[in-house]
Amino acid sequence: MTLETRLRLNYLLSQYKTKYEKYYSKTDFEYVMKNFVTKFDSRESIGTLLLQAYEDCGLSEELSVNLYGSFINHIKTDCDINGDLLEVGCGVIPSLAKSLKKQQSIGTITVMDPVVKIPQYGNLRIIHGTFTAQTDVSKYKLIYGAFPCRATSTMIQSSYENDVDLYLALCGCVEGMPYLDYYEYLFDLEDTMKSLSNKTGRNFDIFEYSDLPYPLIKTYR
């Protein structure tokens, strides 16, 4: 990393700190401060806390592994994003949704997460809360998420029960789940969706893209 790049990153980080520190937990913001500069030129996948920050700062296109950029490109190709969308697990700063909103011709994007506390961000609709089986999704054309971790199973169930399309980039986390490994987790998800598809007539696909680290799930009519 050049000195010029390091100085620019430190300046952007200071600006980011001024705007958003108050919306983070102490632990999460310490992580961002510690890793924002050092992980910028990493050739490995970067966690969502940093992805949110880089996207907000306009740095994603410079990353060796631009997961948010890849996700946006694929959801635009694989789904119709022109409608009312719900992003589950948007994180502290919902910068993925803000960038995706710029790609819409019509429609809205609502974001939902128990950790999102910022009152306004772009022209997104923000819900501070946990996505559950009781969450009303009737007004949405598409539910989506990028690496939403524990919300994954609930999102799948809601998609089938409410007949709403789903587009989901899986994360690689099975922490706290009763699986021996990640492949057992994938097999279980597939079996669940096969059963739900047989009951509801909805279709599903599990597929991969080389520029995303884990499979994606899509449900549709």
Closest to 101 measured CA to CA, from 53, 55, 139: 55
* Cα–Cα distance for residue pair 204/191, rounded to 1 Å: 11
Residue type, position 122, single letter: G
Full-model pTM: 0.95
**Same domain for 82 and 58?**
no
Residue 175 pLDDT class (50, 70, 90 cuts): low
13, 93: one domain: no
- Is 25 in the same domain as 85? no
Q: Which string of DSSP letters, residue by residue, matches 78-125?
A: HS--SS-EEEE---SS-HHHHHHHTT-SS--EEEEETT---S--TT-E
pLDDT category, 180, cuts 50, 70, 90? confident
Tens digits of residue pLDDT in 104-142: 999 999 999 999 999 999 999 999 999 999 999 999 999
Over 80: is that where the pLDDT of 178 sits? no
Q: Are 129 and 116 contacting, i.e. CB atoms less than 8 angstroms apart? A: no
pLDDT band at 143; cut points 50, 70, 90: very high
Is the domain of 32 the same as that of 128? no
The pLDDT of residue 173: 78
Q: What is the pLDDT of residue 21?
A: 98
Q: What is the pLDDT of residues 44-79, one digit of tens each?
A: 888 999 999 999 999 999 999 999 999 999 999 999
pLDDT confidence of 1, banded at 50, 70, 90?
Answer: confident
Same domain, 76 and 183: yes
| 50 and 96 both lie in a single domain | no
Between helices 48-56 and 26-35, what is the axis angle to 10°?
A: 70
Residue 40 and residue 94 share a domain: no
Categorize the per-residue pLDDT at 176 as very low, low, confident or very high, splitting at 50, 70 and 90.
low
Using CA atoms, how far apart are residues 105 and 82, in angstroms rounded to an integer?
6
- 129: domain range? 67-220
pLDDT for residue 43: 86
80 and 173, same domain (yes or no):
yes
Q: Do residues 49 and 87 share a domain?
A: no
Kindly state whether residues 120 and 176 are assigned to the same domain. Answer: yes
Q: How many domains does the chain have?
A: 2
- pLDDT score of 44: 83
